[in-house]
Amino acid sequence: DSGVTQTPKHLITATGQRVTLRCSPRSGDLSVYWYQQSLDQGLQFLIQYYNGEERAKGNILERFSAQQFPDLHSELNLSSLELGDSALYFCASSVEGGVRTDTQYFGPGTRLTVL
Amino acid sequence: AQKITQTQPGMFVQEKEAVTLDCTYDTSDPSYGLFWYKQPSSGEMIFLIYQGSYDQQNATEGRYSLNFQKARKSANLVISASQLGDSAMYFCAMREALGNAGNMLTFGGGTRLMVKP
């Protein structure tokens, strides 16, 4: 158990809908990352937050947004869902986020299926 | 251009034997970190081992060791005394620094390891 929690574990929804994925980082970690794992794209970085502020952005679609709250939990919002958004979404956390030795610990993931 | 390359899509190893999973990387940043993660069939990503670009010695963590050859830009994972529970996907990743003190992991395509009894 990495200490990172993600809810829900599974999510099935329809095209055009909006969903919210939730992540709680390990105790003491200030940085949260979101990754998407799909069969065709592999594991891709989406976005990083540090202590409530956006730090880095990757291949995140405009239909997707995220935020980190004062209690450091984070939410990833996916809207106008398409079939191609079906994937495993991981949240990871690390202590600082800006140090090269900083290890990212991953949550169990949320499997999103868009029908 | 792909920055992390894992050339072995799948591998078999006999239980109790050692196995090497290959990883090559490409970066112009002198400061970087290399990581290996294990993803069992249940789906979670488990951190195994880390190697920093300035580290003089190869990293080791229990049965895992990292064969770091900086000049060749390779960071191969060695698993000694393979166990049935080692059957999983293994991902090599490189930490890249981004602007505003951000960072991200770039992952390779993974190697599926199957341990035979």
pLDDT by 10s per residue, chain B, length 117: 559 999 999 999 999 999 999 999 999 888 889 999 999 999 999 999 999 999 989 999 999 999 999 999 999 999 999 999 999 999 999 998 777 778 889 999 999 999 999
Q: What is the mean pLDDT of residues A25-47?
A: 94
* Phi (first) and psi of residue B84, to 5 degrees: -55, -35
Q: Is the dihedral of CA B90, B92, B98, B101 positive or negative?
A: positive
DSSP per-residue letters across A34-77:
EEEEETTTEEEEEEEEETTEEEEE-S--TTEEEEE-TTS-EEEE
A9 contact partners, CB below 8 Å, separation of at least 6: A108, A109, A110, A111
Given a cut of 70, whether residue A79 has pLDDT beyond it is yes
* Phi (first) and psi of residue B60, to 5 degrees: -140, 145
Q: What is the mean pLDDT of residues A47-67?
A: 94
Q: In the prediction, which pLDDT does A2 show?
A: 87
Cβ atoms of residues B94 and B27 within 8 Å: yes
On whether any CB of chain A is under 8 Å from the CB of B9, the answer is no
On the 0-12 / 13-18 / 19+ scale of CB atoms within 10 A, A71 is exposed
Per-residue pLDDT band for A35 (boundaries 50, 70, 90) equals very high
Q: In the prediction, which pLDDT does A31 show?
A: 93
Segment (H or E) for B39: strand B33-39
Indicate which of A30, A88, A90, A104 best probes the interface with B, i.e. most B CBs within 10 Å of its own CB.
A104
The Cα–Cα gap between A90 and A109 comes to 4
Given a cut of 90, whether residue A1 has pLDDT beyond it is no
Chain B segment 47-66 residues within 8 A of A by beta carbon are: 47, 50, 52-53
Given a cut of 70, whether residue A115 has pLDDT beyond it is yes
Q: In the prediction, which pLDDT does A112 show?
A: 98
Instruction: Please indicate whether, in this complex, the C-beta atoms of B102 and A48 are within 8 angstroms of each other.
Output: yes
The Cα–Cα gap between A51 and B95 comes to 20
Given a cut of 80, whether residue A47 has pLDDT beyond it is yes
- Comparing alpha-carbon positions, the chain B residue that sits nearest to A34 is B104
In the chain, the amino acid numbered B13 is V
Given a cut of 60, whether residue A90 has pLDDT beyond it is yes
The shortest CB-CB distance from B107 to any of A42, A103, A108 is to A42
Q: In the prediction, which pLDDT does A102 show?
A: 82
Output the average pLDDT for chain A. 94
A70: left (phi over 0), alpha (psi -120 to 50) or beta: alpha
Q: What is the mean pLDDT of residues A41-64?
A: 93
Given a cut of 70, whether residue A25 has pLDDT beyond it is yes
Instruction: Please indicate whether, in this complex, the C-beta atoms of B99 and A56 are within 8 angstroms of each other.
Output: yes
On whether any CB of chain A is under 8 Å from the CB of B81, the answer is no
